[in-house]
Amino acid sequence: PAPTFQFPGTEGERTYICGASVQGNRWAYRSHPVRAGFSQRYRLLLQLSRTPDFPAAVRGAWRAVYDLQDPPVIPCDLAKVYRDGMALLAADIHEYHGVISVPFAAVVPGGEVVDTSSQMGFVGQALPAAALLLQNSLETGDADSVSHACEVVDFWAHNCVTPAGVPRTWYDIHPDGRTTWRDYHTFLRVACDGLDGALHAWDVMRRHGQDRPEWLAFCRRYGDWLVGAQSADGSYAREYDLDGQPVNPA
């Protein structure tokens, strides 16, 4: 046996390279370009160490690579980055087929919306995005964007929680204005992002003298469900069905 590093290679059996892996097993195949004069060089670093726990191992691994790469610090106008980001949210969080919503995807560089479905967290980031827009709009006096952001949080708070207490995390908007929930399990990485955004939105409103108890109740209900879903060893499953039962224990 020997440590090896091989390229070309494949990525599978779950990959997003060739489309969503939930549509079936997908493999991504990689190869060297067939071009005269093309060459590539690789270096493989093997670092042996002992750490007290997994977080320390992860921390040591990325810091070692960071120090090895020594990436340059590139100055940029972070205030302008923030302003442009807020302008994008204000432009894209509006009415789609009669529903105020945060769209799932827009293309670059033009920014045209190409997917009007909405996912509460993780990739979609609907609730965290609404919270950021809400905070900026309250600070700048943009009443229309405040209203839009509040409608987004209201929609999720009033509609997404199942009887089991698990939030549904992704919906589609139809041309006739109907919204339907996707047959999509609740992944903690999506739900926790979303509820963190809802809690941020509640806190922003509270600090501006406007209480939204229904938003806080929405967050507390998810927190109560998390307490009940926790395993005896303190861990959680990656994925739950809409009845709150573990689907993927990884």
Q: Domain extents for the chain? A: 10-69, 78-248
Amino acid at 221: R
Query: Is the distance from CB of 14 to CB of 2 less than 8 angstroms?
Result: no
Rounded to whole angstroms, the Cα distance separating 242 from 75 reads 46
Q: Would you say the pTM of this structure is higher than 0.75?
A: yes
Domain 78-248 -> CATH class? mainly alpha
Count CB neighbours of 186 within 10 A. Answer: 25
> Which helix or strand (DSSP H or E) is residue 172 part of?
strand 170-173
Residue with tokens 């160490």: 49
* pLDDT at residue number 86: 98
Rounded to whole angstroms, the Cα distance separating 130 from 108 reads 21
| C-alpha distance from residue 235 to each of 167, 191, 229, 230, 244 (Å) | 19, 16, 9, 6, 15
Rounded to whole angstroms, the Cα distance separating 242 from 163 reads 9
**Chain centroid to CA 148:** 20
Query: Is the distance from CB of 149 to CB of 197 less than 8 angstroms?
Result: no
Write out the DSSP string of 51-103.
Answer: -SSHHHHHHHHHHHHHHHH-PPP----HHHHHHHHHHHHHHHSEEETTEEE--
| ∠ CA 193-155-130, rounded to 5° | 50
pLDDT along the chain (250 residues), means of 10: 70 65 64 84 84 94 93 96 96 96 92 94 98 98 98 98 97 97 96 98 98 98 97 94 90
* pLDDT at residue number 7: 65
Residue 50, classed as helix, strand or coil, is coil
Residue 221, classed as helix, strand or coil, is helix
Tokens describing residue 10: 């494949």
Rounded to whole angstroms, the Cα distance separating 235 from 39 reads 46
* pLDDT at residue number 9: 72
* pLDDT at residue number 92: 96
